[in-house]
């Protein structure tokens, strides 16, 4: 593995690290998610990379070929799967459905695999927003909960400018919520909203990544705007990323030594923190795979009252 010009290529985060990445649209969440997932996968571990941004394209950042990208059907749009797992017709309200659908096999069933990275695309929830209690939303939240709480793999959640898919129970399993910020007030405002939302679900393990930093002034602006957040790393404004986006190449395929080094330093910083993780602070991980569903959606939706534990095999 390329260790980068600065020689900081030590990237042995423990296998099960669970990272969530949030921030305003366009700040570089998918770029960072792809870089961290790629670096962890290069060191030989299985990484579950989850595109949880309805407006996201993590596949492109990972360098998944365009024809494969086009063939991906987001899980929320897999109607037969949603109906089979929840027992409910999608986009119909007032019906009974399972709040703890079987999801343990969905990573294997639905992932697109590339270079040791298992990409799962969650997709958008159309009716009622992602906090609704519609079948699609319940399935996605149960899946995210399962990945975070019950899988041994490293997990990188590429989220939107919010943390809708995380409930209180799932948040307990997230080792770090990384808020990405670029030098600009709008991204700082988004970051503050994310911090508030995280507080509401008891997620306190937050860190900041400053992206698209082109000068010392840029870096100072971000440090001073969000002094309460630990700065995990600074990623320079990098021309090769624009070129990669244009040419359909993945982030790590395009990254030059300086950019690579900044990503490796972020991973190394995470490594230090996660390996010294205090289990008593995190507490034991909940045992039930229905944790996300049982904690309920972020906002109240139509009645969905059944909590049947029926478990079926794959359709």
Ligand X SMILES: Nc1ncnc2c1ncn2[C@@H]1O[C@H](COP(=O)(O)OP(=O)(O)O)[C@@H](O)[C@H]1O
Judged by the rule CB under 6 A, the positions of this chain that interact with ligand X are 23, 25-31, 56, 61, 211-212, 235, 237-238, 241-242, 245
Interacting residues of 170 by C-beta distance below 8 A, sequence separation 6+: 141, 144, 145, 148, 149, 291, 292, 295
**CB closer to ligand X, 50 vs 291:** 50
Strand ranges inside the chain, DSSP E: 18-22, 47-51, 112-114, 117-121, 154-158, 176-181, 206-213, 231-236
Which is it for the CA torsion 270, 273, 279, 283, positive or negative?
negative
| Shorter beta-carbon distance to ligand X: residue 65 or 128 | 65
Report what 211 binds from ligand X, Mg ion, none; CB cut-off 5-8 Å by kind. Answer: ligand X
Closest approach of Cβ 81 to ligand X, in Å? 26
Which CB atom, from 245 or from 306, has the smaller least distance to ligand X?
245
CB 290, min distance to ligand X, A:
30
Q: Which residues pair with 20 in a beta bridge?
A: 157, 177
Beta bridge partners of 117: 47, 114
Residue number, 62 or 171, with CB nearest to Mg ion:
62
Tokens representing residue 208 in the block: 């900041």
Which residues inside 12-41 make contact with Mg ion, applying CB under 5 A?
29-30
DSSP-derived secondary structure letter, 260: H
4, 23, 38, 56: which one binds Mg ion (CB under 5 A) = 56
Q: Taking the complex as a whole, how short is the minimal distance between the CB of residue 124 and Mg ion, in angstroms?
A: 13
Shortest CB 56 distance to Mg ion, Å: 4
Q: Residues in the site for Mg ion, rule: CB under 5 A?
A: 29-30, 53, 56
């Amino acid at each position: 593995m390329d260790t980068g010009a600065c020689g900081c290529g030590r990237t042995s985060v423990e296998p099960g690290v669970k990272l969530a990445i949030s921030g305003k649209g366009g700040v570089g969440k998918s770029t960072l998610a792809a870089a961290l997932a790629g670096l962890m996968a290069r060191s030989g571990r299985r990484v579950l990379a989850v595109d949880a941004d309805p407006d996201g394209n993590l596949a492109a950042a990972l360098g998944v070929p365009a024809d494969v990208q086009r063939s991906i059907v987001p899980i929320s749009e897999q109607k037969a799967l949603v109906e089979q797992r929840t027992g409910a017709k999608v986009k119909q309200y007032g019906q009974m459905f399972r709040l703890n659908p079987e999801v343990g096999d969905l990573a294997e069933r639905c992932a697109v695999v590339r270079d040791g990275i298992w990409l799962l695309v969650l997709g958008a929830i159309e009716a009622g927003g992602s906090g609704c209690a519609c079948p699609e939303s319940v399935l996605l939240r149960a899946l995210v909960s399962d990945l975070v709480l019950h899988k041994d793999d490293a997990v990188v959640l590429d989220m939107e400018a919010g943390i809708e898919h995380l409930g209180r129970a799932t948040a307990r399993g997230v080792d770090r919520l990384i808020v990405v910020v670029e030098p600009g007030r709008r991204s700082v405002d988004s970051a503050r909203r994310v911090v508030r939302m995280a507080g509401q679900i008891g997620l306190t393990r937050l860190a900041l990544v400053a992206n698209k930093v082109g000068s010392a002034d840029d870096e100072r602006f971000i440090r001073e705007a969000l002094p309460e957040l630990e700065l995990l790393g600074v990623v320079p404004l990098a021309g090769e990323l624009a070129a990669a986006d244009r040419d359909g190449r993945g982030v790590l395929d395009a990254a030059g030594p300086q950019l690579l080094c900044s990503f490796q330093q972020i991973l190394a910083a995470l490594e230090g923190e996660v390996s010294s993780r205090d289990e008593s602070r995190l507490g034991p991980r909940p045992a039930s795979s229905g944790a996300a569903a049982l904690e309920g959606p972020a906002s109240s939706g139509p009645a969905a009252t059944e909590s049947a534990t029926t478990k079926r095999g794959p359709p």
